[in-house]
Structure 1
Amino acid sequence: MRDFLRLAAVLLTSVFLTSPALAADGKSHHIAIQIDQNDPQVMNLALNNVNAVIEYYRARNEDVDIDVVAYGPGLHMLRSDTSPVQDRIKRLKDMVFPGKIQFSACNNTRQGMEKAEGHPIPIVADATVVPSGVVHLMELQEQGWSYVRP
């Protein structure tokens, strides 16, 4: 029986040491980043922040979820016809474990742009369309996500 308990203790210890989520005392990190400007410098700053957060927590073997939420003029970041950073977005999506980073495009803004421009607004393939960018940010914060605006 003593050997069984010792083996069980070793197995449990190895699970805690090898699981990224458990390695951080069960805490996972969540960050929402707002983009509301059609400014390539702001977009690149936000992506630099995303990269820094990913690298920081990867080095600590900790889990992090990131959601970059674009609305208003910032939706240009996620428009496939106008985005100056769509190649960087694709590279970031490719380097991160699936589901750990999301790019959220505001559908309210998209519909307004479609009405103003008179044609459909294409969104980059790596983005998810959400009904409202502002509401999405609010709901993430209500769920305990940290909020950053570059």
Structure 2
Amino acid sequence: MVALFAVALMAMPSIAGAADHKLVLQISDNDPQKMNTVLNVAANVSRLYSEKGEEVDIKVVAFNAGLHMLRPDTSPVSERISNFSASMPNVAFQACNNTREAMAKKSGKDVPIFEFAEVVPAGVVSIIELNEQGYTIVRP
């Protein structure tokens, strides 16, 4: 009986900090329209679940040319994304370090990333691992 209870507890999501819904938004294009669409989707999903009294954890993962979204020197959505970071704590941004290193090698200089973004070793690997944790992946 105790063993069954332990197995049941391990199968349950953590009560503290567990979101009702989990979403990954992929951005891999240097396209301002797609970047704004990703931010629109994040805002709309966050707002709709908030209105329902449900929590949603949203991760925006940027890699390849989409990394420009998280670069203060090249982001076409820099003001909007900075406001997101300040006003929506349930939306987190991840920057692919593989892409960052490739861009730095090509340009011969460091590639800055917004301070609120988490630099992950590989954006695609992060997406795979988040999917394995139950996140739904959307590429608007």
CA separation of 1:54 and 1:117: change in aligned 2, threshold 3 A:
same
Task: Note the alpha carbon deviations across 1:27-63, whole angstroms, 9 max, x for none.
Answer: 6100000000000000000000001011101101110
Other structure's SS at 2:38 match:
helix
Q: Which residue of 2 aligns with 1:130?
A: 120
Indicate whether 1:54 and 2:35 are aligned: no
CA 1:145–1:120: 2 relative to 1, 3 Å: same
Residue by residue over 1:83-135, the C-alpha shift from the partner in whole angstroms, topping out at 9 and shown as x without a partner, is 011211121122223xx221000000000000000000000122110000000
Mapped contact 2:20–2:54 kept (Cα < 8 A): yes
1:104 to 75, 88, 94: 94
The one-letter code of the counterpart of 1:128 is E
1:64 is aligned to 56
Structure 1 stretches of 4+ moved >6 Å: none
CA, structure 1 residues 27+84, in 2 after alignment: closer, same or farther (shift >3 Å)?
Answer: closer
Distance 2:115 2:76 in 1: 15
Q: Determine the structure 2 residue equivalent to 1:11.
A: none
TM-score (norm 1): 0.79
**Aligned partner of 2:136: which letter?**
S
Separation in 1, partners of 2:119, 2:131: 18
Distance, in Å, in 2 between the alignment partners of 1:27 and 1:113 is 34
The CA RMSD measured in Å over matched residues stands at 1.4
Structure 2 gaps of 5+ residues are: 1-14
Structure 1: gaps spanning 5 or more residues: 1-21
Structure 2 length-normalised TM: 0.85
- The higher radius of gyration belongs to 1
Are residue 81 (structure 1) and residue 85 (structure 2) matched? no
Equivalenced residue count is 124
1:4 corresponds in structure 2 to none
Q: Distance in 2 between matches of 1:67 and 1:42?
A: 16
More helix by share: 1
